[in-house]
Amino acid sequence: MKKNSDVLIDKMIKAFERCSFDSGKILDPDAWWPLNHLYYSPLYIDHFYGVLLRNFELLKRKYTLKEIADTISYPSATWLLVVSAPRIMKSMGIKKEKRISLILEFLEMIQTQMAGNIFCEDGDNIIWDSNRVEQLISGTEWTDVSKGGNLNRLFARLHAALLSLNEAIFRNCNNVAREVHGPYKVEYKGQPAQLIIREYYNLRDPALEPKLKDFPYESIETYVLYDHAVKFDFPVLNDYTHDLPLIEHTLAVAGKTKEKTKEKNLDSIKFLDRVCGILEEKNSQISMAVEQMAREDQVLESVRRVYYWTKRLNAKLNCFNRVFF
């Protein structure tokens, strides 16, 4: 007998064949995302949010909204509840008053995770509040890019490699393993500057991507100070636009890699070049494997990775529910 997850994936693939393969216009062979999220999200979203909402109601019997929010941790995950759950609640037959009440609870949870704008361009993100930013600025050994060595270009190369690998691994779920915070207004050497923090985590997960079995890094964080003249905008979740070339307007850099419990600073050109090389090689391996897959297999793999992460989120909440059984 098939597991429920296998039956769900079977249904997804049959739907893909009808809406995608026949039209031939959905898949983009040059993109990391083999299937547009809008086309397959309706196929799993009812199942996922139905389970999640039931978990949420159970959690409220034992835990406060703040405790639940702390479990979810990142505000972007709670924001997905706000934007995606309403239509699911309606299809589940939840009455309007209850739907409004649930959305207000989700928004209250976001308030405990983040102050101000959901995309944190106003610099008021609670995870990186003013005290933590000040501690980072004062407690970090910044490397001034004016000292030479092309560190500004190496960090740009690192960011490109991280973004590419992140999308190669997680496909449409890439936002579950990457966070960008800022820009925060700070001072560097007595001059105004802007800090942007980039976090890439859960990078080594062989169960999701077998080619990561020998990949050394669990997570990588970078901290970059940019010239105050750069105008940043944040129109897309976890992504920036800017009006000036970042390489030319980088002032100072810092960062670290984490291998299990071991951390190492990105403070030498030799080590930074090595990290970039490892990321690029792994990205190339995964990309070559994707290119060799049939279109149908690309779609199936994209679905598997989305389902993998939705199951993990529900499992995280389910572990708190065991007290009720």
How much is the average pLDDT of 249-267?
91
Check: CB of residue 196 under 8 Å from CB of residue 224.
yes
Give yes or no for a contact between 306 and 191, defined as CB atoms under 8 angstroms apart: no
pLDDT attached to residue 253? 94
Residue 3, SS3? coil
Place of tokens 């990078």: 203
Sequence-separated (6 or more) residues with CB below 8 Å from residue 250: 145, 151, 152, 155, 156, 224, 225, 226, 227
Query: What mean pLDDT do residues 311-316 have?
Result: 62
Tell me phi and psi for residue 164, to 5 degrees.
-65, -45
pTM assigned to the model: 0.66
Convert the pLDDT of each residue in 179-205 to its tens digit: 888 888 899 999 999 999 988 888 888
**Closest to 20 measured CA to CA, from 307, 305, 290, 299:** 299
Distances (CA, A) of 271 to 143, 154, 155: 14, 11, 12
Q: In this predicted structure, what is the pLDDT of residue 56?
A: 86
